[in-house]
Amino acid sequence: MSENAFVVVHDRPYGAGVVAARALAEGEAVADLSECVIADAPSVYTIDVGGGRHIDGPQVRYLNHSCTPNVYVDAERMDVRALRPVAAGEELAFFYPSTEWDMVAPFDCLCGAADCLGTVAGARAASPQALRGHRLNRHVAERLAAVEAIRSA
């Protein structure tokens, strides 16, 4: 993993974001999250990595959401990986419900995707159809499976 895989920019219509500093290959590690700090409480900047832990740091603070993500935050590997080839200068964005069961500050999505969630509030608030096809972290997938088991009982 290269140290210069991404750069933070402050020119997004919604604030800061992260763009690829160079072309990225599918599966390439974009950021190492092992140096992120465990936050005292979840916030709009933290990412849920399971077990009641939320991380914060320059590697994740400005990663925005997309309903058609090009990166995945892997809470087990503690890294961010490209889901597909990414062009230099392309904004890096992940699917927030892949890590978040409930969000501190839900918001209206601006991604413009055909299958956009509309409101991003975490996996608990999304329909199973909206989550289908997205790679979910284990802590989210397990909670989703438990809810589905209760609903079908």
pLDDT at 3 over 80: no
Quote the pLDDT of residue 121.
97
Alpha helices in 46-133 (DSSP H): 128-131
| pLDDT tens profile 54-97 | 999 988 899 999 999 999 999 999 999 999 999 999 999 999 99
- 57 close to 43: Cβ distance less than 8 angstroms: no
Burial of 132 (0-12, 13-18, 19+ CB in 10 A): exposed
Q: List the one residue out of 21, 94, 36 whose CA is nearest residue 63.
A: 94
Question: Long-range contacts made by residues 46-55, C-beta under 8 angstroms, separation at least 24?
Answer: 47/73, 47/75, 47/99, 47/100, 48/75, 48/99, 48/100, 48/101, 48/139, 48/140, 49/75, 49/78, 49/99, 49/137, 49/139, 50/75, 50/137, 50/138, 50/139, 51/139
Residue 52, token pair as written in the block: 């009641």
Q: Is the pTM of this model over 0.75?
A: yes
Topology given in CATH for the domain delimited by 6-152: Beta-clip-like (2.170.270)
pLDDT at 35 over 50: yes
| All structural domains of the chain with their residue ranges | 6-152
Model confidence band, residue 1 (pLDDT cutoffs 50, 70, 90): very low
